[in-house]
Chains A and B, each alone.
Chain A
Amino acid sequence: MSDHRCDCGVVVRALYEFVDDELPAAEAARIAGHLRECDGCAGHVRAARLFVARLGEAPLDPRAIDAMRARVRAALLGEASDGGA
């Protein structure tokens, strides 16, 4: 078990690379082992995952989506009529 241990400093320094799945497998496994034993670091990783996930999901105004759909469909219709299809 001891080779799966690491300290909180390692987790904090490698936080984003761990969350982004960018660490070598052995290092990621060591951190995962530490997270099972350290509630503080586990909470830190959960917060980082939530933060990163929310960056990619900014909501859009439904009216803006409808307007864009109409604009794209009109452009595609023009393209298809011009022989693009």
Chain B
Amino acid sequence: MTAPAPAEALREFEEEMLAHLPDVMRYAKSLTRDAADADDLVQETYLRAFRSRHTFIAGSDGRRWLFTIARNLFLRERERAGRVVAVEDEPELDAMATALAFAEARQDGLDAALAHPDLGPAIARAIADLPEPFRLVVALVDVEGLDYATAAEQLGIPVGTVRSRLFRARRTLQQALAAHGRDLGLVPAAAREEAP
């Protein structure tokens, strides 16, 4: 088969892959925290994808393919820079604490915040504020949609650690979003007073 001319190859690539740009931007932001780093990661992801476009199987999920490239680039750079942060993990305690905290957060403003259409910036801020080990698990599981086992494999940590970090991160995010709901005046004062 004859390879398409350069201009044609570029046009085809852009047509198919730029449709996923907002998703890739969102994912890069959840991985990196920093806006400029996220933009660099998005650009590098597209360049790598274009160079290795022959490895993309036509008809498969382009968004998933771009996410994999972005994740690999990010994790390799993180490892190279030695930016691996130690953290204490307590799986059992975290599962229980998160379970109890969820009911509390719902009463305390989370439900009202989730129903609010302009929650996006608050979510992005809350994710960015998470310490990196927790943010990465949220990025891989909640933004990319990986299962626990695949996320564990990608991050080089046990599945139980993914679980405990994910639950702790979500607990922090619940509290942040509930607080946002209260700040917006979305929670009746009576409900706030009753919350422990």
Contacts and interface: CB of A to CB of B under 8 A. Distances in A.
Interface of B: 5-7, 9-10, 13-14, 18, 21-22, 25-26, 29-30, 39, 42-43, 46-47, 50-51, 95-96, 98-100, 102-103, 106, 110-111, 114, 119-121, 123-124, 127, 138, 141-143, 145, 147-148, 163, 166-167, 170, 173-174, 177
Contacts of A54: 114, 119, 123
Contact of A56 (B10, B43, B142): B142
Contacts of B103: 12, 44
Interface in A29-85: 44, 47-48, 50-52, 54-60, 64-65, 68-69, 71-73, 75-77, 79-81, 84-85
Interface residues of A, number: 36
A85 B18 contact: no
Given A15-B102, A85-B6, A47 B26 contact: no
B127 A16 contact: no
